[in-house]
């Protein structure tokens, strides 16, 4: 690690070695996606000078590529929730999110997120985000109409419905099709442009600049193939996304993501922000956790089916969110995961891109086609059917709305990881931060001047077991704002 | 992080701030357990001056508290394997360990470990470790006689037996009872004492000393309540154990260990070495992984039983190693794990400390006592019995040696996590290192002068799914030696 001219993210540049500053600002932000834009707006509104460094030629980040649903509620409900007849309490939202994140939950972040969620909704509206006072009632992974409110998580499924009163909290923008991401980033970009915020595009952040005590004073960026030193008097906010696009980091930290076939994110999600933070002494947290999903609906009617493993056993209630299903698929022993449905509940082609592994007029015929033990499959289907006919699922407590006997003719969709079925993924692991965005050492000491938000940090969403659409963009935009205010409030 | 007089592990002291050295040596080693002792012996034998800093008043570490079985083989077999009639090949050992560690496997470390395993056995013997040319044939978690060779992992169970020819590789010392740990550490301590190696007991390592470029030049230790600076001309080796005794780190990184009730290790396993390494820029790896086990044998006869989950389904072949069983127990949905056996296969009290949750002359009686669905339990037992009678387990491929129908009267042992059944644990996550012991940054650059071995590093054993007894002490002693040789060969 002898000093060379080449900067690497995990080796901060020494403040003493900075001969002159090429740029100076109060707040330097790495990344112009959901987190970075919100951080910039709030820091600027708090009176700070701000420069955003974006590695690509335009704003957007991974938020622009998402549906940009935002998970919001509590405090009696957002105006949309209220208009749709829902009175959402903060405690229900909090209890749900705590249960959803389970043993990985960051209580402080979840508490703050829930307490301020309606305020965040109002702020997004103030920024220009448009939400219609309407509900999208299909079981869907995203609204494809311009309707707003939809269930995007496991709220109505067991055990969550017994822990907190279910309420839809996914807020979809008023736009047809899956076009929320560009719309949200359009709105936020416009707000950035309205303010005295400088944006440097095609600017690659290389490493942080730290003093003898480890405090952060700026960063080195490469612009026009030149390394530039940037002084950030109040601090640097890393909003550079996760590492879904860094194959080496994935193999090292999230080997189970190798079953994934569609990385979700933009090409800049290389983990660079995480590496920069870690090099400056920041701790990383839950680097093994990722959103890995099997979007097995729409159509919602497939939820009437049952998932079975290689032993022809059911293993979870099928009315759960799609990433929770993938989470449980990855826990099964042996090779083979099938979604068994009655022919009439199937629509071709399925969104999840699964092949039909087999069909049958009888259970035995189906079992033979898909290579499962016929006695096991018969018992599984008959046991399920017997109870489903009574609106009951004694094993996994699937909601009665999705219970009906599965009658022949049967179809089995091949959902085996690696079979070709769609398994999108992105990363949850990142820098350990306080809710304020301050990056922590492994002993949870604050690194002065260093902040992170969005998927560069380990935020509210931490596990596929409890993820719901809108949690990542919600976390990124909300905690991006908080980080922007925090750093602006720090004295130089 | 302004500089204060108080040292914390994650804030290295600056070399420029060292006014004088209280001690000087070539190699400083933190921790006098299995890894530290072997590192010291090899470094000394390579001509380096060595000081060991041990936080407690005596040598031993967690190795002394273990059975000190060592997992060894390959190269045609150790002398014990050969005497017992086993011809073990390096490829079988390699293929087995690669499959056992699965997607987390570090191929370079496993290759080196297997290639040099017989040499390591011979070295331990040369040091004074005594192994009898005999085999312990019971299914056991440790030999309680002075016999040597035993199966300690999943070698004979599916799918591993199809991937590599099974061979016993656990080597137990020639000592009655579970007393291998004190014996091995006695032998290694004697070898350290024979050499010109200085040992400082009651010496707490506080932090590393790094230069401007991040290279390591020594460490700060507290002895007699005084902070002392130690210059290590060639390097520092962190052999300070894992973090099984650090509740905060466990909660943060290994929340699933909260089901554990017996931490395995010595009080010094506080993660201090990992924190010191991370503070100096070292990457941590697989911090979420831990050995969490349910030692459900002896008696081996319990292996004739079947494990069922809350849905009364089997979920894995029961002839596997106990930690692999716990690994799969933790994957089950719902609350309730039971080991169902015929009354005659049960011995009281069971080693695993499980309560008898229920008994029954009929399946229905048993199901009612333990609260499982009787139809499910009946199908599971009858399906198992039908095939077991033919020496077959079509679902999970349990070895035919452990297959026989389970007849009444039945007993069900409560193995539910949290029920009181024994769940010992220790941590696998640690510093990312090369096989040489050199600590790496998150970009896999070497940090000059910094080494780690034993559970302070992320070594060969990384997952309960594929652990076998003797892998941790084997990894610690072998890679301790390698690190000792590496650092001694480094020029000042």
Encode pLDDT of B266-302 as tens digits: 999 999 999 999 999 999 999 999 999 999 999 999 9
Residues B341 and B384 occupy one common structural domain = yes
- In angstroms, rounded to a whole number, what is the distance separating the alpha carbons of residues B452 and B40? 12
- In angstroms, rounded to a whole number, what is the distance separating the alpha carbons of residues A304 and A290? 27
Q: Could B396 and A3 be called an inter-chain contact, meaning their C-beta atoms sit closer than 8 Å?
A: no
- In angstroms, rounded to a whole number, what is the distance separating the alpha carbons of residues A405 and A391? 9
* Token digits of residue B191: 């070898």
Give mean pLDDT, residues A408-423.
96
How far does CA A126 lie from the centroid of its chain?
24
Residue A419 domain flag: no
Domain extent for A342: 300-414
Residues A286 and A192 occupy one common structural domain = yes
Residues B338 and B484 occupy one common structural domain = no
The answer to whether residue A335 neighbours chain B at the CB level (below 8 Å) is no
Pick the range with the lowest mean pLDDT from A341-350, A460-469, B229-238.
Answer: A341-350
Residues A87 and A157 occupy one common structural domain = yes
How much of chain B, in percent, has pLDDT values that exceed 90?
A: 95
* Token digits of residue A51: 């420069």
Residue B462 domain flag: yes
Last residue of a domain, one of B361, B382, B414: B414
- Chain A hits for B446, CB-CB cut-off 8 Å, are 1
Say which CATH number the domain at B310 has.
3.90.700.10
Q: What is the pLDDT of residue B127?
A: 98
Q: Could A3 and B213 be called an inter-chain contact, meaning their C-beta atoms sit closer than 8 Å?
A: yes
- pLDDT greater than 90 at residue A211: yes
The answer to whether residue B247 neighbours chain A at the CB level (below 8 Å) is no
pTM of the model: 0.96
Which helix (H) or strand (E) segment holds residue B183: the answer is helix B180-194
Residue B136 domain flag: yes
Q: How many residues does chain A have?
A: 492
Residues B287 and B189 occupy one common structural domain = yes
Q: What is the pLDDT of residue B2?
A: 37
How far does CA B118 lie from the centroid of its chain?
20
* Token digits of residue B159: 């799918």
* Token digits of residue A55: 């590695």
CA distance B2 to chain A (A): 5
**φ, ψ at B141 (rounded to 5°):** -90, -10
Residues A41 and A112 occupy one common structural domain = no
Closest alpha carbon within chain A to B101: A255
Q: B5: pLDDT confidence band, cut at 50, 70 and 90?
A: very low
Say which CATH number the domain at B57 has.
3.50.50.60
- pLDDT greater than 80 at residue B3: no
Residues B128 and B81 occupy one common structural domain = yes
Determine how β-strand A13-14 pairs with β-strand A50-53. Answer: unpaired
- Residues B117, B97: contact at Cβ < 8 Å? no
Q: A5: pLDDT confidence band, cut at 50, 70 and 90?
A: very low
Q: What is the DSSP letter of A418?
A: T
Residues A37 and A186 occupy one common structural domain = yes
Tens of pLDDT, residue by residue over B348-362, are 878 889 999 999 999
Tens of pLDDT, residue by residue over A46-81, are 999 999 999 999 999 999 999 999 999 999 999 999
- Residues A280, A119: contact at Cβ < 8 Å? no
Residues B173 and B186 occupy one common structural domain = no
- pLDDT greater than 90 at residue A459: yes
Shortest CB distance from A328 goes to which of B2, B314, B333?
Answer: B333
Residues A135 and A86 occupy one common structural domain = yes
- In angstroms, rounded to a whole number, what is the distance separating the alpha carbons of residues B424 and A210? 42
- Chain B hits for A311, CB-CB cut-off 8 Å, are 313-314, 395-396
- Chain A hits for B383, CB-CB cut-off 8 Å, are 375-376, 379
How far does CA B369 lie from the centroid of its chain?
37
Name residues whose C-beta falls within 8 Å of residue B19's C-beta, 6 or more positions apart in sequence: none
* Token digits of residue B315: 């979920």
Q: B491: pLDDT confidence band, cut at 50, 70 and 90?
A: confident
* Token digits of residue B253: 């990184």
- In angstroms, rounded to a whole number, what is the distance separating the alpha carbons of residues B231 and B28? 8
Shortest CB distance from B333 goes to which of A14, A315, A446?
Answer: A315
- pLDDT greater than 80 at residue B4: no
CA distance B314 to chain A (A): 9
Q: Could B396 and A1 be called an inter-chain contact, meaning their C-beta atoms sit closer than 8 Å?
A: no
The answer to whether residue B8 neighbours chain A at the CB level (below 8 Å) is yes
Tens of pLDDT, residue by residue over B421-480, are 999 999 999 999 999 999 999 999 999 999 999 999 999 999 999 999 999 999 999 999
Last residue of a domain, one of B414, B432, B460: B414
- pLDDT greater than 90 at residue A6: no
Query: Which one of B287, B398, B432 makes the best mutation probe of the A interface by having the most chain A beta carbons within 10 Å?
Result: B287
- pLDDT greater than 60 at residue A4: no
Residue A5 domain flag: no
Interface of A with B in 19-48 (CB under 8 A): none
Shortest CB distance from A288 goes to which of B286, B313, B396?
Answer: B286
- pLDDT greater than 60 at residue A2: no
- Chain B hits for A331, CB-CB cut-off 8 Å, are 331
Residue A188 domain flag: yes
Interface size A-B, in CB pairs within 8 Å, comes to 125
Name residues whose C-beta falls within 8 Å of residue A90's C-beta, 6 or more positions apart in sequence: A74, A75, A114, A115, A117
Give mean pLDDT, residues A260-282.
96
Interface of B with A in 396-425 (CB under 8 A): 396
Cα angle vertex A257, ends A252, A262, to 5°?
A: 125
Residue A163 domain flag: yes
Residues B60 and B185 occupy one common structural domain = yes
- In angstroms, rounded to a whole number, what is the distance separating the alpha carbons of residues A30 and A27? 10
Q: What is the pLDDT of residue B348?
A: 81
Residue A142 domain flag: yes
Domain count, chain B: 3
- Chain B hits for A390, CB-CB cut-off 8 Å, are none
Q: B1: pLDDT confidence band, cut at 50, 70 and 90?
A: very low
The answer to whether residue A385 neighbours chain B at the CB level (below 8 Å) is no
Last residue of a domain, one of A146, A177, A208: A177
- Residues A410, A339: contact at Cβ < 8 Å? no
Residue A275 domain flag: yes
How much of chain A, in percent, has pLDDT values that exceed 70?
A: 99
Residues B242 and B321 occupy one common structural domain = no
Give mean pLDDT, residues B327-352.
93
Note the ipTM here.
0.95
């Amino acid at each position: 690690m002898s000093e060379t001219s080449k900067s690497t993210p995990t080796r901060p540049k020494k403040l003493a070695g900075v001969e002159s500053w090429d740029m100076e600002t109060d707040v330097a932000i790495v990344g112009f996606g959901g987190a970075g834009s919100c951080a910039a707006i709030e820091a600027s509104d708090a009176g700070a000078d701000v420069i955003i460094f974006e590695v690509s030629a335009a704003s957007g980040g991974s938020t622009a590529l998402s549906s940009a649903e935002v998970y919001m509620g509590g405090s009696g409900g957002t105006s949309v929730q209220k208009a749709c007849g829902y009175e959402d309490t903060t405690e229900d939202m909090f209890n749900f999110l705590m249960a959803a994140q389970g043993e990985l939950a960051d209580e402080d972040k979840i508490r703050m997120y829930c307490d301020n969620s309606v305020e965040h909704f109002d702020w997004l509206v103030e920024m220009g985000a448009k939400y219609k006072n309407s509900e999208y009632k299909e079981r869907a992974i995203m609204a494809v109409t311009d309707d707003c409110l939809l269930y995007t998580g496991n709220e109505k499924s067991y055990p969550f419905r017994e822990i907190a009163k279910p309420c839809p909290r996914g807020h979809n923008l008023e736009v047809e099709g899956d076009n929320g991401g560009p719309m949200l980033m359009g709105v936020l970009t416009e707000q950035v442009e309205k303010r005295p915020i400088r944006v440097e595009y095609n600017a690659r952040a290389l490493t942080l600049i730290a003093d003898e005590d480890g405090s952060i004073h700026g960063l080195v960026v490469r612009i026009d193939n030149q390394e530039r030193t940037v002084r950030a008097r109040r601090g640097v906010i890393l909003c550079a996304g996760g590492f879904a696009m860094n194959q080496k980091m994935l193999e090292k930290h999230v080997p189970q993501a190798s079953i994934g076939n569609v990385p979700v994110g933009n090409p800049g999600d290389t983990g660079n922000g995480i590496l920069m933070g870690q090099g400056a002494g920041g701790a990383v947290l839950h680097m093994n956790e990722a959103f890995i999903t099997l979007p097995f609906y729409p159509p919602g009617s497939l939820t009437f089916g049952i998932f079975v493993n290689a032993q022809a056993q059911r293993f979870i209630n099928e009315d759960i969110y799609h990433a929770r299903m993938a989470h449980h698929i990855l826990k099964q022993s042996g090779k083979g995961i099938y979604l068994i449905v009655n022919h009439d509940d199937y629509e071709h082609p399925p969104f999840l891109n699964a092949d039909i592994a087999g069909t049958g007029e009888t259970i035995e015929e189906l079992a033979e086609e898909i290579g499962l033990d016929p006695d096991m499959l018969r018992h599984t289907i008959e046991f399920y059917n017997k109870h489903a006919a009574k609106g009951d699922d004694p094993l996994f407590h699937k909601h009665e709305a999705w219970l009906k006997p599965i009658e022949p003719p049967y179809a089995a969709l091949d959902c085996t990881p690696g079979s070709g079925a769609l398994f999108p993924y992105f990363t949850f692991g990142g820098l350990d931060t306080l809710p304020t965005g301050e990056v922590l050492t492994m002993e949870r000491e604050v690194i002065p001047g260093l902040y992170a938000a969005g998927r560069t940090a380990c935020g509210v969403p931490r596990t596929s077991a409890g993820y719901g659409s809108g949690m990542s963009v919600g976390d990124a935009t909300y905690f991006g704002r908080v980080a922007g205010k925090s750093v602006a409030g720090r004295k130089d």
